């Protein structure tokens, strides 16, 4: 691999710095695509952003591995298994609560059940302020 400083050949950055910048951009891009995926209401658009997210994550992983093999990037320290298990359990509980919430809202019969703080309209035929 070409390891000479690119700045000596007239370019503005060393190869390692340039690759770190690209790696950071790939991370940012994958976050943006993930957000777009979750906010897309059209199945076709959602699939497109999902595919872009997966491609970007694959490319980011390949670049990270290449940089790590060439001692251009060091991974953070290893996490304790107990910490990982704790985070996984917390995420699973959150997912379960979310699924229960969605089920509850889908089974309620009121058409206004999706707006929890909106008072139900009560007809007031005797009130002169209602028409």
CB atoms < 10 A from the CB of 33, how many? 20
CA distance 120 to 111: 10
pLDDT band at residue 115 using 50, 70 and 90 as cut-offs: low
Average confidence (pLDDT) over 12-35: 91
CA distance 69 to 23: 15
Q: Is the pTM of this model over 0.85?
A: no
CA 113, 119, 123: angle at the middle one, nearest 5? 110
pLDDT band at residue 90 using 50, 70 and 90 as cut-offs: very high
pLDDT at res. 11: 64
pLDDT at res. 21: 92
Q: Report the mean per-residue pLDDT for the chain.
A: 80
- Which residues lie closer than 8 Å to 109 by C-beta, 6 or more apart? none
Share of the chain above pLDDT 90, in %: 47
pLDDT at 108 over 90: no
At 34-88, the pLDDT tens digits run: 999 999 999 999 999 999 999 999 999 999 999 999 988 776 778 888 989 999 9
Q: Are 34 and 53 in contact (CB under 8 A)?
A: yes
* Chain position carrying tokens 């872009």: 52
Closest by Cα among 71, 56, 50, 70 to 24? 56
């Amino acid at each position: 691999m070409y390891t000479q400083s690119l700045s000596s050949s007239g370019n503005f950055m060393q190869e390692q710095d340039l690759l770190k910048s690209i790696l950071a951009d790939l991370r940012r891009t994958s976050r943006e695509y993930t957000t777009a995926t979750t906010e897309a209401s059209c199945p076709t658009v959602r699939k497109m952003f999902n595919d872009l997210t997966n491609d970007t994550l694959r490319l980011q992983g390949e670049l990270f591995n290449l940089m790590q093999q060439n001692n251009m990037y060091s991974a953070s320290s290893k996490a304790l298994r107990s910490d990982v298990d704790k985070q996984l359990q917390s995420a699973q509980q959150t997912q379960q609560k979310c699924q229960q919430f969605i089920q509850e809202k889908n089974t309620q019969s009121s058409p206004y059940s999706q707006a929890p703080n909106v008072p139900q309209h009560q007809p007031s035929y005797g009130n002169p302020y209602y028409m």
